[in-house]
Amino acid sequence: MMQASGNVDVISYNILMKQYVGEGGNLRAAEALLEEMRRSGFKPNISTYNSMLGGAVAAGDLHRAWRTIDMMEASSGPGVDAYTITILCKGYKRERQVMDVRTFDRILALIRFYSVKVDDVLVNLALEACVSLRDEKRLIAALETFRKSGWKTSQQCAMHTYGLLIKAYGQSHQLDMAWNSWNEVTCDKGLVPTEQLYGQMIDVLVTNDRLGDALVLFEGMKETYGDHMDSRGFAVAYAMIIKGYAQRKECPQAMRCYEEMRLHKANIGLVVFNTLIDACSRVGDMGNAARLFRDMMDAQCPPDLITYSTLIKGYCVRDELSEAMELFSLMRRKGIKPDSILFNSILDGCAKKQIPHLCEQVIKDM
């Protein structure tokens, strides 16, 4: 009816395009509409292509999404804008696909070439990609690209963005830059860090072998949020501190942290239990390791392959083969399949005890 009356324009086509690419969208129909638009003498604009891009991303078709970008970049295309880049980055996040280096570089190139004005949403998506890539050079390139597009941490950076920056700097071992971001929040802006930001900075410090600094920061976290020590944020922070002690084989200190967690009724998950059991096993403290295993059962936190492997290896190192074999049998009854590392630990224990028939049985099981 609109066509018959001569009232169709680009906006009309764009509205229809959004219908085609909406929930359960028909991407072929959308592409046919694009061709009809051109034949009718209408030039698709950025809104037209962004709708198509959103449809491709919603369908999980990243290949088609990039074909849409190619059309936007063609000589007759309108180019891209910030919304285009945001849709594309969200597509990778939604599909849980890690951007490869080539994809990340092209996205940065699009931002630079079209002078895209980035916002916190786009910066966060790009920083998450940097964290996945673990690439210091590309982190530096991304931050420089954002700076040139007018984005400044001091004016626009939200707490979540600071957390991503600190994590990215920590991964690339730029500890001074991580501290700069932390100080910008706490000193320059005078803000109170969230539990999540505390946890992120503590993680970075532990990962970069700065346990002493992490402990000082953790005490500050307790002073700030001492009434909420049963929160998820504290559970994460405790896990990081325990990891730091475990790396240094300082088992008593790690166990003290564990007792603190129990005292404050913090949620103790599988990772914390496994870290503690590993710390005890490494120093031959199988008494505490066994106690932690029992605590896991009482807390209804099912042990996994890592738990059993760590304990069994610890027993084998201590020549306590009967305890190792008892756990091995329990694990098999629970339906957990041993891997080659675990089998080799048991074989090593059997060899030390000089029990050839048991070695043969283990090899048969393998």
Residue 256 CB partners (closer than 8 Å, separation 6+): none
Compute the chain's Rg from CA coordinates: 28
- The span from the CA of 346 to the CA of 319, in Å, is 10
Please give the structure tokens belonging to residue 200: 């992120």
Kindly indicate the confidence band of residue 179, based on its pLDDT and cuts at 50, 70 and 90: very high
Nearest to 314 by CA among 335, 328, 296: 328
Please give the structure tokens belonging to residue 361: 């049985």
Phi and psi at 334, nearest 5°, equal: -80, -5
Question: How large a percentage of the chain has pLDDT more than 90?
Answer: 46
Least confident span in 88-102, 109-123, 181-195, 199-213: 88-102
- The residue that leads in pLDDT, 346 or 311, is 311
Residue 319 and residue 349 in contact, taking contact as beta carbons nearer than 8 Å: yes
- Dihedral over Cα of 141, 142, 148, 151: its sign: negative
Residue 56 and residue 41 in contact, taking contact as beta carbons nearer than 8 Å: no
- The span from the CA of 72 to the CA of 249, in Å, is 56
Element (H, E) at 57: helix 46-58
Whether 156 has a pLDDT exceeding 70, the answer reads: no
Give, in order, the Cα–Cα distances in Å from 125 to each of 78, 297, 322. 24, 39, 52
- Per-residue pLDDT, 121: 86
Output the pTM of the full model.
0.76
- The span from the CA of 94 to the CA of 57, in Å, is 8
- Per-residue pLDDT, 6: 64
Domain boundaries, the chain: 1-79, 100-189, 192-280, 303-366
